[in-house]
Amino acid sequence: MFVFISVFSCRTQQISTPEYGKNMTEVNFKIRKVRNFRTVGNIKNSEGRTLKEEKLYRSANLFRLKPTSFKTIEKLGIKEIIDLRNSKEIAQKPDRLPEGIIYKNESAFEDEGDQLEQARKLVLRGKVNGKDAEKRMLDFYRNYVTEHPEVIRKIITEILESDTPVLYHCTAGKDRTGIITALVLTILRFDNKTINNDYLLSNNYRKKLVNRRLWLAQNLHFMYPKLDISVLEKLSWVQTAYLDAAFNEINKKYGSADRYIQEVLGISEQKREEYILKFTY
């Protein structure tokens, strides 16, 4: 399905409709200036158990979190925040947090050699097309779960061992945050359909933001005349193909998600059952 946008521009590019999550069962908390903020909960796993609400929170960065919203964070009982961004991202937009919050930075991706900045320049110069962008995203998902497994293990352990609600986030709250959420839900025995649906909800929460970016790129193209809008689409929306790439890489390298959970994340079957009882009812 395609729609066309042309208001100020004589150039028209096709804008595709992304995949959206279908079952928005979690409680929706709106925090001003924080995008893609939500709790993961009120969904049933393959054993019929329900994920407790208000135990796991996910979002985009907290750089613009206002002091007026600090009370909301406190009211939700969030005591710990895990920042999945790399050091350069944090330096540019550090989180603004209430006092007393335990802040931890656990990055499984370091931007050596300014890869992100170089990629951004290539995009603006029209040196990257939609296929290139999609390949970059697929490669990122494959590498994220396998290149620094010790960091992934630490992140997962921090989340599952916490006795208070945890908020974890990256920059947009969709890719790294989406992968970590998918791994947590896999450990808690949620099926692929449920995991994919939660993952795709980032498109629902970011719809207004992304559509505005695409509109600007379409109608103010004279600012970046060589920019391919399909690149923005691939980088802005999440796709099940991206998450599939991560789990396919896990299966390829370790044989199955269960073996990855045991051998890489260090979670025994007994410990896994303890986590299931802890986070579901």
Burial of 17 (0-12, 13-18, 19+ CB in 10 A): exposed
Residue-wise pLDDT for 228-279, tens only, equals 888 889 999 999 999 999 999 999 999 999 999 999 999 999 999 999 999 9
How many Å from the N-terminal Cα to the C-terminal Cα in the chain?
40
As a whole number of angstroms, the distance between CA 150 and CA 154 comes to 6
Amino acid symbol at 245: A
* pLDDT for 111 beyond 80: no
**pLDDT above 60 (res 172):** yes
Provide the pairing of β-strand 56-59 with 38-40.
Answer: antiparallel
Q: Predicted confidence band at 37 (pLDDT cuts at 50, 70, 90)?
A: very high
Please, are residues 84 and 168 in contact by the beta-carbon 8 Å criterion? Answer: yes
Q: Classify residue 71 by burial, with Cβ atoms within 10 Å: 0-12, 13-18, 19+.
A: exposed
165 Cβ neighbours under 8 A, 6+ residues apart: 54, 55, 56, 57, 76, 77, 78, 79, 80
pLDDT digits (tens, 9 = 90+) for 195-205: 999 999 999 99
Task: Give the pair of three-digit tokens for residue 84.
Answer: 């999945």
Average pLDDT, the chain: 89
Task: Count the neighbouring beta carbons within 10 Å of the beta carbon of residue 55.
Answer: 18
Q: pLDDT value at position 150?
A: 96
Q: Are 180 and 167 in contact (CB under 8 A)?
A: no
d(CA 27, CA 147): 34
* DSSP assignments along 207-261, one per residue: HHHHHHHHHHHHH-TTTSTT--HHHHHHHHS--HHHHHHHHHHHHHHHSSHHHII
**pLDDT mean over 108-128:** 70
Rounded distance between C-alpha atoms, residue 89 and residue 59, angstroms:
15
